[in-house]
Amino acid sequence: MQQILNSQERTQAFVKFLVFFLFTVALVILAVFFNYHLPSRENKMLQDEVDVQRQQDANQQKFVNRMQEAIVLLDSLESSNTNLEQINLQLNGKIGDLAVLQQKDNTLYGKMNKVIVDRLQELQQKQRQLESLSDKAGKLTSLQTELDKCKTDLAIANAALDGFRKGSPN
C-alpha cells in the first residue's frame, strides 16, 4: 500500500474541522436551548408578578369597599335623627378593619392606605368635636336667651324701683 505524503497535515486539518464543527453545533444547540428555556423562565417570573399584582388589586378592592362603608357611616353622623354612639362604634370597627386590610409595605398602595386610614380617623375626631361644639352652641343660644330675659326683667325691675323711689316721700 502506498503511503500518502501529506497524511499528517490531512489528519490535522480533519481534526481542526471536527473541533470547529462540534463547536459550531454546540453553539447552535445552546442558542436553541436558551431560545426556549429563557423565555419560559421569564414567563414564569412575569406570571408570578402578575399574580402578586392581582392579589394586591383584590386586597385593594376589599379596602375600597370597606372605605366606602366607613364614608357612609361618617356621612350618617351628620344627620340629626341617628344614634351617634352606635354609629361611632360601627365606624371604629370599620376603621379597624381598614387598618387590618391596609398594606403594611412602602408601596404606593401601602402609603395611600395609611393616609386614608389616618384621614378617616381625623374626620371622625373632627365630627365628634363638631357634635360637641354644636351641643355647646345650643347651650350657648339657650343661655343667651336666658340672659336677654334676665336683662329685660332687670330693666323692668329697675324701672319699677325708680318708680317707687320717685313716688315715695323721703
pTM: 0.58
Give the model's pLDDT for residue 5: 79
Q: Which three cell numbers stand for residue 19?
A: 473541533
Which of these ranges, 51-55, 80-84, 85-89, 118-122, has the smallest mean pLDDT?
80-84
Which pLDDT tens digit goes with each residue over 93-118? 888 888 887 777 777 888 888 888 88
Name 136's Cβ contacts closer than 8 Å, sequence gap at least 6.
Answer: none
HSE (side-chain half, CA atoms, 13 Å) at 43: 6
Looking at the predicted structure, is the pLDDT value of residue 1 above 60?
no
Give the model's pLDDT for residue 168: 67
Which pLDDT tens digit goes with each residue over 3-52? 777 888 999 999 999 999 999 999 999 999 888 888 888 889 999 999 99
DSSP string, 102-125: S--SSSHHHHHHHHHHHHHHHHHH
Kindly indicate the confidence band of residue 130, based on its pLDDT and cuts at 50, 70 and 90: confident
Kindly indicate the confidence band of residue 81, based on its pLDDT and cuts at 50, 70 and 90: low
Give the model's pLDDT for residue 144: 92
